[in-house]
Structure 1
């Protein structure tokens, strides 16, 4: 059976639908959540979105984002929705630990039918229906496939399309990653045909910088950038004190790894920033011959896509930097 048709049947038969996504939401998790919500509404059904924590400020312009419930703010209300739900969507994550401990417990204890729609490697078996397409660039693209392949392309709207375009745009680095397929551009064309103003989305994402964020980026590039010529790698590290100095808000460090990766000759970029005693890490790379997910998974309790992954360290900044600088020449040889 067409899995998308099966998902449509589950939506139509459900009485209480909950849409979830991973902790530290990005454009894809937010875009796919809102795109699915608006599609469900076009089917004549209702749904609720529940995320572990809020999206960064630069995503707050999306229509419908103010309706999202957050575990860290709306915990009791969200728990009630978990208890009442008979259908739960698990979007853009492949393991229950990606949603944080509180939501993870709620996912494990619920008797609701669960549907995963995701594109990350190695999905865990914790759902009833799985759509896992690791070759696809974004979960937002899979939500589009749900709409079209369930026979409802006619329900596509500007509101749905804007959310999905955002998800595809952000998870492909503005369509630069190898995961972009001919099908991706076909879908983008159909989203534009539905009335999406792509230039306005780019403006919302790229032309809403605060002075503090730009100052932080300038400081990071001028004072905290390190180049490892032997393995064509760039590293940026920011302590909690430095982030406080620049009044950094959630999302202000997003894009720093890509900025470092844009340097001529650089193939690997890692951004490290300190938060609540832990070192969060963002890995980016160019080319299929330079995957960063393996390094993140094997040494920094992380993982993700071949060219875009995350990790975490509890060693402290100095020790983490020392470990990273030791590992980079091992994983990425200078003759590549």
Structure 2
């Protein structure tokens, strides 16, 4: 029996299913969660989607009303975890990625756990692990689950829209090297069942607020530091700067890609002061890998060309630390 068929059987035999994803959700974690939820419902079962915190505002066009948030419904979610007999862990590979409150519930639960993820170096916390680091996204893996378990006929627009969103956002609009012929085959299947890809692109990309555009303009014009010799661009935004522009979750998403879009730029590092720390996004092209730098110096990691990390230093000290490390990790 294939692993995807085994997962289908687990779904059909479970009574209380929970779908979880990582803290600070993105298009892939939201898309994979809703795609899986809709598939489970097509199998005639019910599930609860429990996330640590809400999605960023630019994803509100997607129907997220079925998602419960730990920040708002902790008692309800605690009760669901206590009753659960099957828990899905989507788009994360270590329990600390769901935040401290949900981490306790996840680790204490006696439910069977299934991890579906595409990040490097997974922790051994799940009973069934689908860890495909070469996959473009977790949403692509959910599509594979549906197809390879023999349920491709269940694919419809409701399942396809969030899965398309997840694949699109985690591949930078299909521009990253993680996109394969199989990725496009899956996208074709989603289009065939009614997904209108152009509307998803419009809803996602033509959804900026004035404050978001002003913040990103300020970041690019006033805060971008370029290390020309190494083709590295760095942006650091302090809490007071974010507040000045009425920052909302997700407002700085895409900044790193804007930096990378500059001719000749090879590495982009963007960090913002949130939750008492600097949250860092590392992006790069080609063989200028950023995951090692993130892991060795910023308590992070991820994909070779797309990683995250953190710093407990103030903005200027974080910038100085990065500037000292860049020559050690990137060539001229």
Say yes or no: does 1:250 pair with 2:268: no
Q: Which residue of 2 aligns with 1:301?
A: 299
CA distance in 1, matches of 2:208, 2:268: 22
CA distance in 1, matches of 2:272, 2:7: 39
Contact 1:277 1:316 in 2 (8 A): no
Q: Which residue of 1 aligns with 2:4?
A: 4
CA distance in 1, matches of 2:275, 2:28: 25
CA distance in 2, matches of 1:278, 1:118: 26
Show structure 1 runs of 5+ residues with no match. none
CA distance in 2, matches of 1:146, 1:29: 16
1:277: how far off? 2.5
1:158: how far off? 0.2
1:85: how far off? 0.5
* DSSP 3-state at the match of 2:18: strand
Write the mapping of 1:58-77 to structure 2, written as runs, cut at 5 A.
58-63=58-63, 65-77=64-76
Write the mapping of 1:100-115 to structure 2, written as runs, cut at 5 A.
100-115=99-114
1:280: how far off? 0.7
Contact 1:238 1:273 in 2 (8 A): yes
Contact 1:21 1:93 in 2 (8 A): yes
Q: Which residue of 1 aligns with 2:272?
A: 273
* DSSP 3-state at the match of 2:247: coil
Q: Please, what TM-score do these two structures have when normalized by structure 2?
A: 0.99
Q: Which residue of 2 aligns with 1:20?
A: 20
* DSSP 3-state at the match of 1:120: coil
Say yes or no: does 1:122 pair with 2:121: yes
CA distance in 2, matches of 1:218, 1:62: 26
Q: Deviations over 1:228-258 (max 9, x none)?
A: 0111100111110110000010000101111
Q: Which residue of 2 aligns with 1:35?
A: 35
RMSD: 0.7
1:195: how far off? 0.3
CA distance in 2, matches of 1:272, 1:118: 25
Say yes or no: does 1:78 pair with 2:77: yes
1:276: how far off? 3.2
Q: Deviations over 1:165-208 (max 9, x none)?
A: 00000000000111000000000011000100100100111101
CA distance in 1, matches of 2:51, 2:140: 20
* DSSP 3-state at the match of 1:31: helix
Decide which moves more: 54-63 or 5-14. Answer: 54-63
CA distance in 2, matches of 1:133, 1:73: 32
CA distance in 2, matches of 1:206, 1:160: 21
Q: Which residue of 2 aligns with 1:211?
A: 210
Q: Which residue of 1 aligns with 2:193?
A: 194
Write the mapping of 1:304-319 to structure 2, written as runs, cut at 5 A.
304-319=302-317
CA distance in 2, matches of 1:162, 1:126: 30
* DSSP 3-state at the match of 2:263: coil
1:275: how far off? 1.5
Show structure 2 runs of 5+ residues with no match. none
* DSSP 3-state at the match of 1:281: strand
* DSSP 3-state at the match of 2:229: helix
Q: Which residue of 2 aligns with 1:93?
A: 92
Contact 1:267 1:286 in 2 (8 A): yes
Contact 1:230 1:329 in 2 (8 A): no
